[in-house]
Amino acid sequence: MATTTDIKPGFRDPVLDSQAVFRAVLDAMARPGKRHQLSVLDEVPAPLAPAAAAVCLTLVDQDTPLWIGPDLRSQGAEAFLKFHCGCPIVEDRSKAAFALTSAAKLPALDGFAIGDDAYPETSTTVIVQTAGLGAGDALSLRGPGIADTTALAVAGLRAGVWREWAENAVLFPCGIDLILVDGETIAALPRTTTVTEQEG
C-alpha cells in the first residue's frame, strides 16, 4: 500500500495551476478540437498521463465520484488521485461524475451516466488517454463553437466509438462529454459536437 511519502507531488502552484487548467478545459469545451498544453505537473504515477492527472486535480473532488478503467488503475495512480482529489473511486461507471480510461479500453459509451432532462450536467465526463492527438484517425468536427468544420486526429481509439458517439448526440441535452488526452495535451468533444471519420 502506498504511503503519503510515496505519493507524487501535485501542482507546483495549486491556485494558479488549477485556474490555468480550468480555463483550458473551459476553452477546449467551448472550441471543440482545439488543443491545449497543460504543463503543470512535474511527475505523475504511471500509467497516468500528465494532462489527465491535471484535469482530475482540477475538476475532481470529494463530491465527484471517479471511475478508473482497470488498465489505468495502478496502486500509485489510485493513491495519487485519492490523496490530491479526495474523491470516492467507484466500481460502477454509471455512478461516476468523471471517468478515466485509455482509448484502447474505452468502455461502451452507453454505460456511463447520461444525466436527465432536469439535470443534464449530472452525466459523466470521460477523460480518455489516447495514443496521440494530431496523429491517427482523421476526424472532421462540426457543431457549436466551430465556425464551419475543424479537423482533429486521434490515435488509439477502439473500433465503434464514433458510431456510439452519434447515438450519444441524439440524447441531447443529456449525454456524456469527452476530454481527450495525449501526454500534456488535451482537446475536448462536448456532446453537441458531430464527428465524421475522414477516408484515406
Cell numbers given for 191: 456532446
Q: Is the pLDDT of residue 4 over 70?
A: no
Nearest to residue 153, comparing CAs of 127, 176, 180?
180
Only one residue has cell 456510439, namely 164
Mean pLDDT of the chain: 95
Cell numbers given for 14: 495549486
Give the integer Cα–Cα distance in Å for 21 and 19: 5
Give the integer Cα–Cα distance in Å for 61 and 108: 25
Q: Is the pLDDT of residue 149 over 70?
A: yes
Tens digits of per-residue pLDDT, 59-80? 999 999 999 999 999 999 999 9
Per-residue model confidence (pLDDT) at position 182: 98
State the pTM of this model.
Answer: 0.95
Nearest to residue 45, comparing CAs of 92, 13, 82, 97?
82
Per-residue model confidence (pLDDT) at position 156: 96
The 3-class SS string of 130-154 reads: CCEEEEEEEEEEECCCCCCCEEEEE
Tens digits of per-residue pLDDT, 15-26? 999 999 999 999
User: Which residues are CB-neighbours of 199 under 8 A, at least 6 positions away?
Assistant: none
Three-state DSSP at 181 gives strand
Q: Is the pLDDT of residue 2 over 80?
A: no
DSSP 174: S
User: Contacts by 16-25 with C-beta closer than 8 Å and gap 24+?
Assistant: 17/54, 18/57, 18/58, 21/54, 21/55, 21/57, 21/58, 22/58, 22/59, 24/186, 25/55, 25/58, 25/59, 25/179, 25/186, 25/188
Question: In terms of C-beta density within 10 A (0-12 exposed, 13-18 middle, 19 or more buried), how is residue 111 classed?
Answer: middle
- Complete domains list, the chain, with CATH: 14-193 (3.40.50.11310)
Per-residue model confidence (pLDDT) at position 5: 58
Cell numbers given for 72: 489505468
Q: Is the pLDDT of residue 117 over 70?
A: yes
Per-residue model confidence (pLDDT) at position 136: 87
